[in-house]
Amino acid sequence: MALNVSNLISTLEDDIFNREQLEQTTFIGIDFGTSTTVVSYTIFSPDTKKLTTETIPIHLLLVI
């Protein structure tokens, strides 16, 4: 079985305490790549009852 967020969260969905914690948590990911950097966040959407991930735009200034 592949390890991914869906597999991890599916085990939490039946636990009300963990669901409440999940609804109040924001996950932030930062990737410092060689030529680009990406920042994204994941939240639990109360409307869809699913995790949603958005990328935060970063405007880089290249100084030579």
Instruction: Give the chain as a DSSP string.
Output: ----HHHHHHHHTT-HHHHHHHHT-EEEEEEE-SS-EEEEEEEEETTTTEEEEEEEP-------
Is residue 40 predicted with pLDDT exceeding 90?
yes
Is residue 53 predicted with pLDDT exceeding 80?
yes
> How many CA within 13 A on the CB side of residue 32?
0
**Domain ranges within the chain, ordered by starting residue:** 5-56
Split at pLDDT 50, 70, 90, the class of 4 is low
Split at pLDDT 50, 70, 90, the class of 37 is confident
Split at pLDDT 50, 70, 90, the class of 8 is low
Q: What is the mean pLDDT of residues 15-22?
A: 66
Higher pLDDT, 21 or 52: 52
